Amino acid sequence: MEIFPISLKLQQQKCLIVGGGSIAYRKAVLLQKAGAIVDVVAPEIEANLLEIVQQSSGQFLQHAFTESDLNCPYRLVIAATDVPEVNRLVFVLCEQKNLLVNSVDDIPHCRFMVPAIIDRSPLVISVASNGSSPVLSRQLRTQIETLVPQGMGALAEFSGQWRKRVKAKISNPDQRRVFWEELYASPLKEQVFAGNTETADLLMQQALDNWSIPKGEVYLVGAGPGDPELLTLKALRLMQQADVVIYDRLVSPPILDLCRRDATKIYVGKARSNHSVPQDGINALLVEYAQQGMRVCRLKGGDPFIFGRGGEEIQELFASGISFQVVPGITAASGCSAYAGIPLTHRDYAQSVRFLTGHLKEGSPELPWKELVYENQTLVLYMGLVGLERICQQLIAHGQRANMPVALISKGTTPEQKVVVGTLQDIASKVEAHQIQAPTLTIIGEVVTLREQLQWNERK
């Protein structure tokens, strides 16, 4: 994050604009809306800008900018002339005086940026790009405008009127946040939008009167194979309201960034022969935090019920009497194969697909080898990289042809995705040559040959 977004209170605060033209006018409009006293220094001034200066009880200083114009204790300064040298001078002098300064469309000479604004006062939403793409910021503002009802301002005002009473009733800030979130999901919001303030006040009072300390809950959420755009809407909603996020190694950083910023985040990642927290410890953490009344998001790569031990975790929750929800995720077999351009089934090549774990047990993969040797079938192996050579040998030994196509998909659906194709006979030798790393999904079957035609993700 290259800039730190803040919201300034400028009511009755003196601000200076250097420049008297149309650019200065646009900035003056925003400052006046924020309640600032707007001074303008310029040799000439447009009539509409002069009107804003007068309405804000500011002054028009009719002369070229000089250093003495900064003697007044201004909160911020905007350089909005069409003379780059003047704008640079304003910036240099403001820096010496530690004044916040913005030079319009001149990024190197800005200490703050003016964002694109969605105004639902008292709710204000801003979009900024560090000055690199103001047009894109305005386009995003337009999109957000359509998503934020005009009534949101009234809802923010209504909430402010009740804030002290809610705080007096519910002193714990985490519990108070839950109260507001549940309230905004209730019919009260629509009553405020419709202007039915009496009904809204009644519903608010009832909610406060009936409030009780919330019980903890656990959300078992599938985070998918890595691409954050593959998250479900429900997964995203629960991730953003959880008080605690317990996540594993396969959850990508961009996905973790979508969780609530102030949530407690606990890493319990598991790598082969290196479990930072054993499964019993994870189960205990879920129970412990939920019993404290917190909403816990157990964030797992892929789908929690496909080789994710999600069933074991919710068994523990059930035994402890803790409420839980399960949110399916796109499993690695589906997501990675799609991004690699390999359909798992195809009418001409495979009429069935089997998901298997290649995880070693006592040094050897234990799989029903005879059942796996079938021509028109796709095999998908999770966690099979370490035992890959042994798996290929066993399949060939039990009758599978040595030239059966195989694909390795490393870090599928992410920008680091790598796909290597071979056969049962030679795929193991390609792991080191191509520096294939976990997590890697293995696909065995004739459908792998379709990748040459269907690898859409690598042609973008």
| Residues with catalytic function | 248, 270
Among candidates 54, 57, 65, which has minimal Cα distance to 17?
65
Q: Which two tokens stand for residue 313?
A: 């975790």
Among candidates 390, 208, 357, 231, which has minimal Cα distance to 299?
231
User: What is the distance between the alpha carbons of residues 26 and 21, in angstroms, rounded to a whole number?
Assistant: 9
Among candidates 91, 94, 78, 75, which has minimal Cα distance to 35?
75
Question: Burial level of 345, CB count in 10 A (0-12/13-18/19+)?
Answer: middle
User: What is the distance between the alpha carbons of residues 354 and 305, in angstroms, rounded to a whole number?
Assistant: 15
Residues 391, 410 contacting (CB under 8 angstroms):
no
Phi, psi of 247 (to 5 degrees): -125, 160
Helix (H, G, I), strand (E, B) or coil at 378: strand
Q: How far is CA 301 from CA 86, 222, 238, in A?
A: 55, 6, 15
Sign of CA dihedral 59, 60, 63, 69: positive
User: What is the distance between the alpha carbons of residues 295 and 174, in angstroms, rounded to a whole number?
Assistant: 10
Q: How far is CA 50 from CA 17, 61, 228, 315, in A?
A: 12, 11, 49, 71
